[in-house]
Amino acid sequence: MTTRLGLDIGSATIKAALIKDGETPIPEGLTPLPLNAEGGQEICLSPVKKVEGDPVAAASKLLETLKTMLGELPPVILTGSGGKVAAASLGFTYLPHFRSLAEGVHHLYPDTRSILEMGGENSRFIAIEPGEGSVKITDSATSGDCAAGTGSFIEQQSSRLRYSVEEVGEIALSAKNAAKIAGRCSVFAKSDMIHAQQKGATPPEILRGLCDAVARNFKSVVTRSRELGDAPIALVGGVALNKGVVRAMEEIYGEALFVPLEPAHLGAVGAALFAAQGEAKDGDLEDSLKDTQSFPHWPPLSLAKVKVIEAEPPPKELPTEGYLGVDIGSVSTNLVLTSPDGTLLHGIYLRTEARPVEAVKRGMAELRDKFGDSFKVLGSATTGSGRELIGELLGADIVSDEITAHKTGAFNVSKRHLGGRKVDTIFEIGGQDSKFISLEDSVVTDFTMNEACAAGTGSFLEEQAERLGINIIGEFAKIALGAQKPLRLGERCTVYMESDLSSLLSRGAGRDDAVAGLAFSVVQNYLNRVVRGRKIKDTIFFQGGTAYNHSVAAAFSKVLGKEIIIPPHCGVIGAYGAALLAKERREATGEESTFRGFDLESIDLAIRDFTCNGCSNSCDIKEYTIFGVKSYWGDKCSERFRKPSKTEKTPVIEDLVAFRKEALERDWLSFFEAGGGGEALSRLALEARKNAPTTPPRFGFLRSLYYFHRYPFWRTYIEALGGEVVLTGPTGKRSIAEGVAASVAEPCFPIQAAHGHL
């Protein structure tokens, strides 16, 4: 034997392993693995490369490179989620990934009995034991179609926070606390990350929470309730290189868990071992049989019904006073200064990068550099998901909801630019949130926002553009507008659409058509999941950061058959509207602004972390002290901290939550026995007590869901029959963790929490 080759083509990356005899020199560009194969054979590994949506092209390119290195191509076996398509196209042998991974791990680590793989878009569990001539797989499970909790999600979120994926593990390890991130779905987890950053969680805390969520998700979705025992458990795949995830997995699976050397290459090693056994057949790199089948598609995009309003030129002499608006969003932070008459003087579009305070500081420094410290802010307002926190920091005069800010900015633009036409419909798609607003003479008559899921928002487009190697700014729209047959990708969860996109590209769909299809999928998601049949009128403004991508506006016009208007400064309309609201307040009241100034570095700001012990939620609180005034963020209620009541009216029931708790937990049988329900009920209750057995049977009851809602009835009924009812304790962190671990399927969070009461 001379050399044998294995290729592992995953959904995100491609890796190769070469098995050679000891006399053959190590090819330049390959790295020897310290662990050798049998008979003195050496294993050499290639660098990990991106697939970028085309497994056939990625395989061809790597094989050509290896052929050049080796002089000729040795017998090859392909494996991995993209290996089957590439093998069929190039004529090589394909080996199922379960077999190749099991063989690679068992050959190098023969004592291992469980394999946990966390790859780019797939997660797997494999139980193995020695077999006759080859390893035997005794049990297995996968994560299914959903890519929640896999490497691609971690990479996307690290990119959004402006970290390389290689940095995430070390940064997560540095955090003392973890932000609360859901593990049930990567899209919901993304939303939780946004909310955590707006509550003041630091990037290391968010990343640690993300790593914990990925590990919990693997347990609940893949291994579920399986007991893996004390035998060695190998954590493999690219995610195994993330130390933050490894720490979280060790907390779940214990000391038996270990990370092999080069954990991303073990599938390729297994494929090369099978090739060494003579199971490979020769392929032909010159004859790529790429599938040329047709796919369902949309008509080509066109800008014929897209109107782009050009921005007004700023005045030659900049005024010395005006109004400030700040929109703190999940992906971007936008700042606007206007003149006293409402003309937009300067707009700033910045990445929030999970650091809203730092982003606002950068924006304020830019405004100060441009307009000088002498510029007088007559009024300031904040909006967006971080409006309250930043409002406290700036000393804002108004803290406005996003709907009001966006409609105010849009209506002002329509008055200035549309010659009497008034905007009556607003499509707003940001990085993480989407809004639909219907207007009648500047009055909001209907509105809605996307729910917890962020499917079909700007961040999805940006992530897919990066995955396909395309710049989201400019290049995406240019490619999409030039495509002839935009793919119909549907309007499902973005995680599923991502998988569909990979499948279509591997079957021969063109990249340009896929890019255009993404624009249509955002539109379909928005219309079907946000608008949901509401009336769309005739003067439609498309705004938010996604509106800079004109291919999405073209898709809206193609689907609706209506003109789509992109206002000037479309990405900062919310901040512009906030500034106009500050102007309205100043003109209506004449009150001086409470704005603290552009130099936020000079603001006396102190931050303290602590845990609220007011209830079993044990919320992690951030206390911001600004010039001695304290504000609190991160709690789930306003009972002990947060803002004072905004009303002087005395409620009929002082504390509805306490009233409900007392009503649910009251001993109603004793209440009736004492005559609380009348003489007849009292007589029946006394009779029930008299006939009760000496040792009553005990019934457990869950303090959750419908069980607890009907608890007064069932407790009274069971006690009247002579039984005893035992109620579980309040839902807390411990019961939630136990419930998530005990859930065999992956139900919604309340059901998982209920499992913790059993």
pLDDT of residue 753: 86
pLDDT of residue 645: 46
**Of residues 527 and 53, which shows the higher confidence score?**
527
Question: Which of the four pLDDT bands, split at 50, 70 and 90, describes residue 345?
Answer: very high
pLDDT at 649 over 70: no
Is residue 27 predicted with pLDDT exceeding 60? yes
Task: Tell me: pLDDT of 605 over 50.
Answer: yes
Give CA–CA dist 548/558, Å, rounded: 17
* Predicted local confidence at residue 108, as pLDDT: 93
Q: Is residue 646 scored above 70 in pLDDT?
A: no
How far is the C-alpha of 529 from the C-alpha of 269, rounded, in Å? 45
Q: Which range among 260-269, 399-408, 492-501 shows the weakest confidence by mean pLDDT?
A: 492-501
Q: Which residues pair with 379 in a beta bridge?
A: 323
In this prediction, residue 320 carries a pLDDT of: 93
- The dihedrals phi and psi of 527, each to the nearest 5 degrees, come to -70, -40
Q: Is the pLDDT of residue 633 over 70?
A: no
- Percent of all residues in the chain with a pLDDT value above 90, rounded to a whole number: 48
**Is residue 647 scored above 60 in pLDDT?**
no
Reduce the DSSP state of residue 294 to 3 states and report it: coil
Span 421-442, mean pLDDT? 92
Query: Which residue intervals of 468-547 are DSSP H helices?
Result: 475-482, 494-506, 511-526
| Coil, helix or strand at residue 254 | helix
Q: Token pair of 610, please?
A: 């602590």
> What is the chain's mean pLDDT, rounded?
86
Lowest mean pLDDT, pick from 151-155, 714-718, 750-754: 151-155
Is the CB of residue 359 less than 8 Å from the CB of residue 334? no
Core vs surface per residue 392-402: b (16+ CB within 10 A) or e: bbbbbbbbbeb
- Tens digit of each residue's pLDDT (9 = 90 or more) over 199-232: 778 889 999 998 998 888 888 788 887 889 899 9
Q: What is the DSSP string of 325-341?
A: EEEE-SSEEEEEEE-TT
Per residue in 1-22, pLDDT tens? 478 999 999 888 999 999 988 7
Q: Quote the radius of gyration of the chain (alpha carbons, Å).
A: 31
- In this structure, of 315-324, 428-437, 650-659, the range with the lowest mean pLDDT score is 650-659
Does residue 291 register a pLDDT over 50? no
**Residues of the chain above pLDDT 70, percent:** 89
From first CA to last CA, the distance across the chain in angstroms is: 59
Q: Which helix (H) or strand (E) holds 213?
A: helix 203-218
DSSP E strands in 395-550: the ranges are 398-399, 425-429, 434-440, 443-449, 540-543
Mean pLDDT of 99-116: 95
**Which one, of 478, 484, 454, 452, lies nearest residue 465 by Cα?**
478
Mean pLDDT on 45-61: 88
Indicate the range of 94-98, 124-128, 232-236, 457-461 predicted with least confidence.
457-461
For residue 289, what pLDDT is reported? 45
Say what the pLDDT of residue 642 is: 53
User: Taking CA 622 as the corner, what is the angle to CA 620 and CA 625, rounded to the nearest 5 degrees?
Assistant: 160
Q: Tell whether the model's pLDDT for residue 158 goes beyond 70.
A: yes
DSSP-based three-state secondary structure for 31: strand
Q: Span 625-652, mean pLDDT?
A: 65
- Alpha carbon distance 534, 403 (integer Å): 16
> What is the 3-state secondary structure of 151-189?
HHHHHHHHHHCCCCHHHHHHHHHCCCCCCCCCCCCHHHH
- The confidence score (pLDDT) of residue 586 equals 95
Q: For the residues 692-700, what does the mean pLDDT come to?
A: 89
Q: What is the mean pLDDT of residues 376-386?
A: 93
Nearest to residue 94, comparing CAs of 266, 263, 237, 281?
281
Give the pLDDT confidence of 550-602 residue by residue, as tens digits. Answer: 999 999 999 999 999 999 999 999 999 999 999 999 999 999 999 999 988 87
Region 42-53 average pLDDT: 89
Question: For 230-257, how does the pLDDT look when each residue is reduced to its tens digit (9 = 90+)?
Answer: 999 999 999 999 999 999 999 999 999 9
How far apart, in whole angstroms, are the C-alpha atoms of residue 445 and residue 146? Answer: 38
Any idea which residue has 């409609």 for tokens? 407
What is the predicted pLDDT for the residue at 539? 97
Phi, psi of 706 (to 5 degrees): -70, -25
Average pLDDT over residues 294-313: 92
Answer for the pair 134, 104: CB distance below 8 angstroms, yes or no: no
- How many other CB atoms sit within 10 Å of the CB of residue 256? 16
Check residue 433 and give its pLDDT. 83
DSSP 529: I
Phi/psi at 425 (5° precision): -140, 135
What is the C-alpha separation between 54 and 12, in angstroms, rounded?
Answer: 10
Task: Check if the beta carbon of residue 143 is closer than 8 Å to that of residue 221.
Answer: yes
Residue 281 has a pLDDT of 66
- What gap in Å lies between CA 612 and CA 592, rounded to an integer? 37
* Sequence-distant (≥ 6) Cβ neighbours of residue 603 within 8 angstroms: 393, 596, 626, 627
Q: Residue 188: what pLDDT?
A: 66
Residue 294 has pLDDT above 60, yes or no: yes
The confidence score (pLDDT) of residue 139 equals 95
Q: How far apart are CA 609 and CA 514, in angstroms?
A: 46
Query: Which domains occur in the chain, in start order?
Result: 1-95 (3.30.420), 110-259 (3.30.420.40), 313-419+573-596 (3.30.420.40), 425-571 (3.30.420.40), 604-644 (no CATH), 657-755 (no CATH)
Q: pLDDT category, 356, cuts 50, 70, 90?
A: confident
> Is the confidence at residue 147, as pLDDT, over 60?
no
